[in-house]
Amino acid sequence: MDDSATPVRDDPHSLAPVPIEIKDIDEDLAALKRGRGARVWTTLLCAGLATFGIVRWMENIDGSQAYAAAAERLEAINAQQGNSFMHCVLPDVQRSQLASRQALHTAFENASERSQKYYGKQLQRCAILSQELEQQLNELDVPSDVYQRVQKVRWAARELNHALAAYRVYLQDPTRPYDYVQATPMIERLTIAWSDYEDQRAQVNRALRDHP
C-alpha cells in the first residue's frame, strides 16, 4: 500500500469555512440602506406636510378671529359713541324713526326750530361723543384688506365733527340770530355726514362678518 497517496475525503460535514461573496453583502446592505432612507424621507415629508397643514389651519383660525374681533370692536364703538351721540343731539327721537336721510333731516330741523340758538349749547355737550367716535375709529385695528373701507368710515366721522362744529359755531354766535334759511344748509351737511357714517360703517361691518 502506497502511503504517499493520500485519499481525498469528500465530507459534506466538514468544518472548513464556506467562502462568502463580500460583494453580495455590500449590495444587500446598500439596498437596505436605500429602503430605510426612502422610508425616512417619506416619514419626514409626511411630517412636514402635516406641520404645514396645521400651521395654515392655525393661520386661518387666527385670521378669522381677527376679522371677528374687528367687527365686534367696530360695533362696540358705534354703540358707545355713535348711538350715544345721536341720542344726545336728538334725545326725543327713536333710532327707528331715522330710517331715511329725509327723516333725519326733518328731526334736526324740528330740534333746531324748537330750541333755535339754544340748540347750540346742546350740540356743544354732544361734541365730546363725536370726537371720541372719530378717535376710537382712528385707533381701530383691522386686517389690511379692509383698511381702505375703514378709512372711509373714519373720513365720515371726521366730516361729522366738522359739520357739527360749523353748525354749533353758527348757533352760538351771539351776533347772528337764528334764521331757517341760513340753518338749513348746515342741517343738511350734518344729516349727510351722519348718513354717510352709517352707510360706511354698515359696509365695513358686513365685510368683516362675511369674511370666510
What sign has the CA pseudo-torsion 174, 177, 182, 185?
positive
pLDDT at 60: 45
Helix (H) / strand (E) element for 19: namely none
pLDDT at 58: 36
pLDDT at 99: 79
pLDDT mean by block of 10 residues, the chain; 212 residues: 50 52 58 58 54 41 79 94 94 81 94 95 95 96 93 97 97 95 97 95 92 75
Measured CA to CA in angstroms, residue 208 lies from 64, 105, 162, 199 at distances of 9, 30, 28, 15
> Which residue from 74, 90, 43 is spatially nearest to 154, judged by alpha carbons?
74
pLDDT at 46: 53
Helix (H) / strand (E) element for 76: namely helix 22-77
Task: Name residues whose C-beta falls within 8 Å of residue 191's C-beta, 6 or more positions apart in sequence.
Answer: 101, 104, 105, 108
pTM of the model: 0.70
pLDDT at 48: 53
Residue ranges covered by each domain of the chain: 69-209
